[in-house]
Amino acid sequence: MQVRDQSIKSHRRFLTALALVPCLAGCFASPGGESSSQGGPSGSRLRVALAFPPAENFSPYGADATLLSRLGVTEGLTALDANGAAAPALAQSWRRENDRTWRFTLREATFQDGTDVTPAAVAAALTHATKAEPAPAALAGVTLGAQADGDRGIRITTAAPDPVLPMRLAGPSLAILSPKAYGKKGNPTPVGTATGPFEITKVNGGGSATLDRYDDYWGGLAHATGIDARFVKDGTARANAVRTGDVDIAEAIPVAQAATLDKATLREAGTTRTTSLQLNTETGPFKDPELRAAARTAIDSSALVKGVFEGYADPGVGIFGPAVTWAESKRVKPAGRAQAARPDGTPITLATYDNRPELPEVAQVVQQQLQKAGFTVKLEVREYSRLESDALAGKFDAFIGARNSLLDTGDPVGILGSDYTCDGAYNLAQLCDKKTDRAIAEAVETDGTGERQDAAMAAEAAILGTDTVVPLAHQQIIAGVSTKVRGLLLDPYERTLVGTGTRTRR
């Protein structure tokens, strides 16, 4: 694999050279989103409304990891660039020493508690992540060890060859925190222990959080002096907050609310997020592949895109959608699908969550389509944190969720292993199929970018051939943004939202 050596000279708060601000702070910026190492004209704070409250006290090992990266709190050794390749973050360069060993060179940086980012601290942080239960999604099926190597080096060794390790280390769940974060039992805390441009200074339960600018950030001084974050579950309330000027940025604007906002306050971007129908293959009616086939043939995804998403999505074609630019040309037609049986009133329970406002409406349309095909469908809708444990335990016959296919590692094989293998940590469909596991295992072992993509699409075909998942729609991001905001960071992986260049004029 080609050696990456994109060294960027470390700089601190008083350096104002625009060229020194790295890509990861602005490569997804909207027009006018140029970075700078000086504060905004009025030193103003950003007011941000987020859809999901912290579910695990801001632990970086679970669903809150992306929340932290989107607010500019945490970072890993690497980041993902606009093309999905690994880019420098806390590591300024790296090289592969052999098929199982990599050496990363750290840049000069400090944690938000004032201590230095040292090889020993980084090695300890990664070691803690490997011992977390359940394992962070980015480490699903991977065993690694990290050791300090000299003043600036980290040597990481994996139990098996891992050609995408630099991409894996960009996963939000592998953020690097200071030793102080791990001082107590349980999950580590990122409060005052991370490395990003913004530092959490106060948490008000699940309702809001206060972040202040971290003035010694290695990437330069952020424009905004801080962030006042609110966690607003109701999508209509988030849209109203933009309309009335109560917030500067609101993520995940419901499709139904987009038309009510001034077009100048809407930002759209393609995303690798796919809304899918997952069918329980372990227990209940969908253990029968012929009934799964009946469910698949009952679904009309174009009706969902037109009626529910109002055009802010593409019809479901696979686990990987149009935002994964290489997928369509490499897609493999699923083979070996069962013939559809007649449901004859078969009762099923369909579940979804309401944190993403389109999902309950998607579920209602899917319910109607399945009922038309002959199923008897009971619909259950809950808040995600009240639903996840039951969904992972296989307590529903069918589940509708929205999943970013490249979120955890940026590697297309990653989500296949976590979601569709016998030992997968997020296997909502409870799938355990030898042919599928074999196809995914072959993809895991494949080196070379193009070859790995080919193997991922072959594994996708194997999964779709079981009818365990029915892709419904490939979504777009819709954010509500004040016309005074510049430097918003929207990327297809949904890992960023605000950064050093994000600012507003009051």
Within 10 angstroms of residue 184's Cβ, the number of other Cβ atoms is: 9
Mean pLDDT is lowest, of 32-36, 46-50, 108-112, 397-401, for 32-36
Nearest to 57 by CA among 214, 225, 184, 235: 184
- Kindly state whether residues 422 and 286 are assigned to the same domain: yes
252 is a domain residue: no
Which of 58-62, 122-126, 329-333, 393-397 is predicted with the least confidence, judged by mean pLDDT? 58-62
Flag whether pLDDT at 184 surpasses 80: no
Q: What span, in angstroms and rounded, lies between the C-alpha atoms of 503 and 142?
A: 39
Confidence of residue 9 (pLDDT cuts 50, 70, 90): very low
Question: Across all residues in the chain, what is the average pLDDT?
Answer: 89
Angle subtended at Cα 367 by Cα 362 and Cα 372, rounded to the nearest 5 degrees: 130
Q: How much is the average pLDDT of 474-496? A: 92
The answer to whether residues 452 and 487 belong to one domain is: no
pLDDT (mean) for 49-60: 90
DSSP letters spanning 344-386: TT-EEEEEEESSSTHHHHHHHHHHHHHHHHT-EEEEEEE-GGG
In this structure, which amino acid lies at residue 186?
Answer: G
Cα separation, 208 vs 251, whole angstroms = 15
Do 177 and 293 lie in one domain? The reply is no
Same domain, 284 and 406: yes
- The yes-or-no verdict on residue 61 having pLDDT over 80 is yes
User: Do 472 and 488 fall into the same domain?
Assistant: no
Question: In sequence order, which residues have a C-beta less than 8 Å from that of residue 297 and are 6 or more positions away?
Answer: 340, 373
Q: Which domain holds residue 63?
A: 23-225+482-504
Q: How confident is the model at residue 136, as a pLDDT?
A: 87
The stretch 2-12 carries a mean pLDDT of 36
What contacts 231, CB < 8 A, 6 or more positions away? Answer: 49, 50, 51, 52, 53, 54, 206, 207, 208, 209
Give the CATH number, domain containing residue 96.
3.40.190.10
Statement: residue 24 has pLDDT above 70: no
Give the global pTM: 0.76
Amino acid residing at 311:
G
User: Is 322 within 8 Å of 218 (Cβ atoms)?
Assistant: no
Q: How far apart are CA 131 and CA 187, in angstroms?
A: 11
Count of structural domains within the chain: 2
Q: What is the pLDDT of residue 22?
A: 32
What is the per-residue pLDDT for 405?
A: 82
Neighbours of 258 (CB within 10 A): 18
Window from 129-133, 362-366, 376-380, 434-438 with minimum mean pLDDT = 129-133
Closest of 207, 205, 173 to residue 190, by C-alpha: 173
Task: Report CA-CA distances (Å) from 160 to 1, 86, 125, 460.
Answer: 16, 20, 21, 23
Average pLDDT value for residue range 14-30: 31
- Residue bearing the bigger pLDDT, 462 or 326: 462
Higher per-residue pLDDT: 117 or 132: 117
Tell me whether residue 7 is in a domain.
no
pLDDT tens for each residue of 394-433: 999 999 999 988 877 788 888 898 899 998 889 999 999 9
Structure tokens at 125: 């942080």
Q: What is the CATH number of the domain that holds 373?
A: 3.10.105.10
In a shared domain, residues 288 and 168: no
> Does 458 fall in a domain?
yes
- Is the residue at 249 inside a domain? no
Summarize pLDDT for 274-295 with one digit per residue, the tens: 999 999 999 999 999 999 999 9
CA distances from 254 to 235, 354, 386 (A): 6, 11, 21
More confident residue, 5 or 116: 116
Q: Which residue carries 């355990």 as its tokens?
A: 432
206 and 293: one domain?
A: no
Three-state DSSP state, 239: helix
Does residue 134 have a cis bond before it (omega within 30 degrees)?
A: yes
pLDDT of 43 reads 59
97 vs 26 pLDDT, higher one:
97
**Residue 362: what pLDDT?**
97
- The residues that bridge with 438 in the sheet, in sequence order, are none
426 shares its domain with 499: no
Dihedral sign from CA coordinates of 341, 345, 346, 351: positive
Whether 460 shows a pLDDT value over 90: the answer reads yes
Give the pLDDT score at 458.
Answer: 97
Tokens of 385: 């944190």
Distance CA 142, CA 302 (A): 38
